Structure 1
């Protein structure tokens, strides 16, 4: 049974999770004069923010649009992104001392700063705005109460307690990464209240190889190559990284969000050149040049040598037959990969799927049939590409919810 509330424990909303969405929601609510309480089961806020981008935090992307997001409803995120834009994110962080530096492909990182500086912006604002955050508070359950609000039960320092509020914001993240305390809490809450959950899976995750091809990948381990990677759903041009267990790197992480076990992906390992035309041209100049020499000029020596099992690298360019050229072209421009699986949630950047967008208002992120219950951030079926897109969704969803609690 909930205790009698004093003024100090009267809140307009209880926010579950001190991640990107929860922190932004609490701050924006504070700007509007609303009082919130964040319950966070870790001993510090912003756990995923702190490790993102190798500790540098790629906090938004200049090119953000709904096109970079995966969802059962691709239009769902449009309203949030119209209410809180990339320019809003940039201006917000600049106001508090963080200027963005673009690295590649529109990715913004704190110039001269780190992820901890991003978290500090929020913790300082929470203090200044008088918002509450209770760390080491594991939320156990959420129930409705007689007055139309919610009772949130939680455990803190070994003691189980309950607190009430008119609104609850579930910003508890997705299933990656368990060592940071990730759980399926958001999906469990949704199901408890009768809301649909879109099938979840690891996204932005390395892919694994098994069987007879594995030793070849082992030979290439550590090789990073600029490629085009594609399937029938999407295509990306960025680096891939060969490992002793399979494939990683930005392009592989990107395509993994559009991949399911049993499906193939394809790799063009020379996307800006035509290998057949290049060989033909070089052969006219120096037909005695070995294919291995030509490939070593395009890739690393290690990579060129590893191709010996699959290509006639010891032949001269002038002696390559039409069949040889077809083999080379197929391998370098249409390399087929049938991945065995992926590295799982502990190596995934984000989760695909989550609370169904059918259940939520796109304008407010409130559950359509449960007034006062909001879902934001990663636990919603809105999954962005690699490169700051998921942070932009977290900031935007946190802002939108704050306007409506």
Structure 2
């Protein structure tokens, strides 16, 4: 309990989605928190999310939408703070949601700043202290069982004693927004296991002999199914001057490992062999390229001429030719060289191992009073609002315990 000597029930390190929700929910319970945010404004990743529109949850959130050593760990957290809770929470703040695609919910205003403003209002209403330009330097456990948090604020070093500390400082993307490995370093300091981290929801790069072919298609988007041996996603893919991006690629990037080949079905809603048969039955006067032009841009069709007989009349194709064309379109193999790294990644894969945390409170089992929430935990959501739902839900779960 807060006292004159220790005025805060908890210090929350990180004023992003998880930290802000945790502070507000703690305030609802009559607790007083100090939120240390290294940026000049809270919620910077909220502000830029969804192209500045903030896809703040997904209607279909389930543990199956998460990459983790143990996705089921999130079950009780999501049970404690559901998607409906998120919707109602924001509606109470005047933010009504609208579904875009695949359950993705955005504010009707299309303005992520409204989401941040809602939290800053609530922080003020419930007497929570938000201190920006405050860079956490260390967290130490005292003999009293309390913690001392040391931080830098505008060139001066300060310390605060608190019974509980919440690490909600995010992951490694994006450095210009203040991303750091602080939560991971504190976890290691206290002997907690870390699941190896890597960029996730990140564009993939193509190098070598195929790089020029992909670069020439930069700006072209195609609806496709992208697969590896573990999973597949069916959404738009974007060619770029350095490789591949777009929702389908970002999704599978969380499951891709260096050295793996991805298989692209460039026409998932149709059977190209059947389309060729239909064309042949109608006389087969059109060229292969004209048939492909029904589905792709002129530039993509011309580029596919590297692999396919686009100038050949369909009537002239043999069965083997038709099969080869279909195999190329439906099983286009790509071997990425790597990814674009943390500065282009939307989230971090891996983090503090869930087995180190209590399942309902996210308190470190070995270190009473120390909590981890949001992106720094090994719980990485798909593209489309899932990571925000984890941030809100984990912030809520922690707030019930501090």
Same fold (TM over 0.5): yes
**Map of 1:38 onto structure 2:** 35
Match of 1:361 in 2: 358
- The equivalent residue for 1:142 is 139
> Secondary structure of 1:312's partner?
coil
CA–CA distance in 1 between the matches of 2:374 and 2:235? 26
- How far residue 331 of structure 1 moved from its aligned partner, in angstroms, is 1.3
Distance 1:37 1:200, change over 3 A: same
Q: How does 1:5-404 map to 2 (within 5 A)?
A: 7=4, 10-404=7-401
Question: Quick one: distance in 1 between partners of 2:344 and 2:128?
Answer: 33
Distance 2:197 2:246 in 1: 22
C-alpha change, 1:194 and 1:34, in structure 2 (3 Å) is same
C-alpha RMSD over aligned residues: 1.1
Shift in Å, 1:270: 0.3
CA deviation digits over 1:125-182, x for unaligned, max 9?
0001110011001100000112111000011111111001100000000000001010
CA–CA separation in structure 2 for the residues paired with 1:107 and 1:9: 42
TM, length-normalised to structure 2? 0.98
* Cα deviation code 1:355-391 (max 9, x no counterpart): 0111001111000010000000000000000000000
1:9 CA displacement: 5.6
Mapped partners of 1:116, 1:91: distance in 2 = 18
* Matches of 1:391 and 1:133, distance apart in 2: 20
Query: The residue matched to 2:360 in structure 1 has which SS?
Result: coil
Asked if 2 retains the 8 angstrom alpha-carbon contact of 1:12 and 1:36, the reply is yes
Aligned residues: 401
Distance 2:151 2:41 in 1: 17
Between the aligned partners of 2:93 and 2:139, the Cα distance in structure 1 is 34
Q: CA deviation at 1:286?
A: 3.0
Moved over 4 A (4+): none
In 1, Cα distance between equivalents of 2:325 and 2:243: 21
Shift of 1:6: 7.2
- The CA distance in 1 between the partners of 2:275 and 2:262, in whole Å, is 25
TM superposition shift of 1:219: 2.1
Q: Could you say what secondary structure the match of 1:309 adopts? A: coil
Gaps of 5+ in 1: none
Aligned partners of 1:197, 1:6: CA distance in 2, in Å? 34
- CA offset at residue 397 of structure 1? 0.2
Whether the 8 Å CA contact 1:98–1:113 is kept in 2: the answer is no
**Structure 2 CA distance, aligned partners of 1:148 and 1:219?**
61
Larger mean Cα displacement after TM superposition, 326-335 or 128-137? 326-335
Question: Matched residues in 1 for 2:215 and 2:22: separation?
Answer: 45
| CA–CA distance in structure 1, aligned partners of residues 354 and 213 of structure 2 | 43
Give distance in 2, aligned partners of 1:100 and 1:8.
43
- Kept in 1, the 8 Å contact 2:6–2:162? The answer is no
Question: Partners in 1 of 2:360 and 2:328 — Cα distance?
Answer: 48
Deviations 1:224-252 (A, max 9, x none): 01101111111111000011111000000
2-side partners of 1:96 and 1:7: how far apart?
Answer: 32
TM-score, normalisation: structure 1: 0.98
Distance 1:12 1:208 in 2: 46
SS of equivalent residue, structure 2 residue 305: helix
Q: Secondary structure at the match of 2:294?
A: helix
Q: CA offset at residue 8 of structure 1?
A: 8.3
Task: Classify the secondary structure of the residue corresponding to 1:393.
Answer: helix
